[in-house]
Amino acid sequence: MRGRISCISSMITSENMPILTLKKFVQNRNLIFVLKLLVSVGIILFLFQRIDLKYLTAKLLSMQWSYLIVCLSLFFLGEILHALRWKILLKCKKIEVSTVKLLYFNFVGLFFNLFFPTAIGGDVIRIYQMSTHSQNTSEAVASVLLDRGVGFFTLLCVAPIMVIFSTKQMETFAFFSPIILLSFTAMAAIFIFFRLKEPMQKWPSANKNKFYKRIMHYYDVLDAYRSHKKIILLAMVISLGMIFLGIFITYLISHGLGLDIPLAYFNIFVPIIFLITMIPISIHGLGLREGAFVFFFAKAGLSVPEALSISLISYVLTLIFGMIGGMGYIVHRDQWPGVRGNM
């Protein structure tokens, strides 16, 4: 484990990135992992105390294989779109990497997100591998941050729009108005963040601060993408396709479980659930996702076991592709020197 952390830590500290001692890094990551584990386990235990486990098991086993295969295929299509989004962001920086290789990096990153959250996150793994292709750690970091940021921003745009366009049918505007407000507040915060460079440059006392210089360095790297507006717009369109794929996959899972729920509910609930699972207080959204499914789909008339079944099946899909990434990592382990360490 320490071998992996040492490699990633040394990679991160290159090109004026923040320097962390290995000991402090390990302690902080382990503490964060324990806190996230407590949140995930706490929510799961709370939900499981309210249900009949035999009924939940029977419901999960009732999933039709034909639907599961289609959902797996669509999930894979979503990952291809993710690789394409990352590829076009890299291409505008003249970093050429094949879509297949980026797909592989995403799967390995997913594997580390799911099974090794204490030491290395999936984004750090993607940064590590991309830095070997770009020979520029800053560009590698920027590409991964922007890839995630574009997806997050698109989701922030979609969630309130889906609520607004579905309120006449569902009469839930008052219920979701806080979420709409939070989404627009977050979007405003992102715009403000990218307009802080000039005011920050006017702080004479800050120019001597090393942390300030690192922040400004990454401002410059990310700011360079602003001259590629068409590329960013295309990346957002791809993100939009990924979001609707996610909605449709969840809808198909419900039908595979024999649940007849109108698509309108999924259009509203799923983007909001995606946003909730991105809150970094649990392990890969485990617990938060299940709680959100139970909370929101109760509005659609589902019982706790039924809502949990949809959530757990969707998580199984993620686990399957995470394990595929793990197998790819094991087979091609020689491509990850220093990330090997003790498994």
Range in 104-113, 153-162, 203-212, 236-245 with the lowest mean pLDDT: 203-212
Task: Compute the average pLDDT of residues 185-202.
Answer: 62
Residue 16 lies in a domain: yes
pLDDT value for 38: 85
pLDDT confidence tier of residue 131, bands split at 50, 70 and 90: confident
Asked whether residue 18 carries a pLDDT value surpassing 50, the answer given is no
Question: Three-state DSSP class for 30?
Answer: helix
- Is the pLDDT at 253 greater than 70? The verdict is yes
Please write the tens of the pLDDT for every residue from 120-129.
567 777 877 7
Report, as an integer, the average pLDDT of 208-227: 64
Distance CA 327, CA 343 (A): 13
pLDDT of residue 243: 94
Taking residues 55-69, what's their average pLDDT?
89
pLDDT score recorded for residue 90? 86
Residue 241 has pLDDT above 80, yes or no: yes
Distance CA 49, CA 41 (A): 12
Are the C-beta atoms of 276 and 289 separated by less than 8 Å? yes
Q: Domain for residue 342, yes or no?
A: no
Q: What is residue 2's predicted lDDT score, i.e. its pLDDT?
A: 41
Among the residue ranges 11-15, 63-67, 147-151, 253-257, the one predicted with the least confidence is 11-15
Cβ-based neighbour number of residue 4 at 10 Å: 22
Phi-psi bin for 342: left (phi > 0), alpha (psi -120 to 50), beta? beta
- Report pLDDT digits (tens) over 323-338: 999 898 888 776 654 4
CA distance 103 to 203: 42
Lowest mean pLDDT among 42-46, 178-182, 242-246, 279-283: 178-182
> How high does pLDDT run on average in the chain?
77
Q: Do the beta carbons of residue 221 and residue 95 sit within 8 Å?
A: no
Selected residue with higher pLDDT from 12 and 102? 102
Per-residue confidence band for 13, with pLDDT thresholds at 50, 70 and 90: very low
* Average pLDDT over every residue of 145-174: 74
- DSSP for 318-339 reads HHHHHHHHHHHHHHTGGGSTTS
162, part of any domain = yes
* Residue 83 confidence class, pLDDT cut points 50, 70, 90: very high
- For the record, the structure tokens of 221 come out as 């790297």
Q: 273-318, pLDDT tens digit by residue? A: 988 888 878 887 888 899 999 988 988 889 999 999 999 999 999 9
CA–CA gap between residue 277 and residue 282 (Å, rounded)? 8
How many whole angstroms separate alpha carbon 309 and alpha carbon 72?
16
Is residue 341 in a domain?
no
pLDDT for residue 10 is more than 50: no
> Residue 148, class by beta-carbon neighbours within 10 Å (0-12 exposed, 13-18 middle, 19+ buried)?
middle
- Tell me how many domains the chain contains: 1
Range of the domain at 101: 2-335
One DSSP character per residue, 93-136 reads TT----HHHHHHHHHHHHHHHHH-TTT--HHHHHHHHHHHHHS-
pLDDT at 177: 61
Asked if residues 22 and 9 have their Cβ atoms less than 8 Å apart, the reply is yes
Given a cut of 70, whether residue 158 has pLDDT beyond it is: yes
CB 126 within 8 A of CB 144: yes
Place of tokens 């890299």: 90
pTM (2 decimals)? 0.79
End-to-end CA distance of the chain: 7
Q: CB atoms < 10 A from the CB of 234, how many?
A: 17
Q: Looking at residue 246, what is its pLDDT? A: 95
Q: Per-residue pLDDT averaged across 93-100, rounded? A: 83
User: Would you say residue 47 has pLDDT above 80?
Assistant: yes
Which pLDDT belongs to residue 336? 56
Q: Which residue in this structure is represented by tokens 């995930």?
A: 40
Q: Which residues contact 282 (CB under 8 A, 6 or more apart)?
A: 36, 39, 40, 43, 288
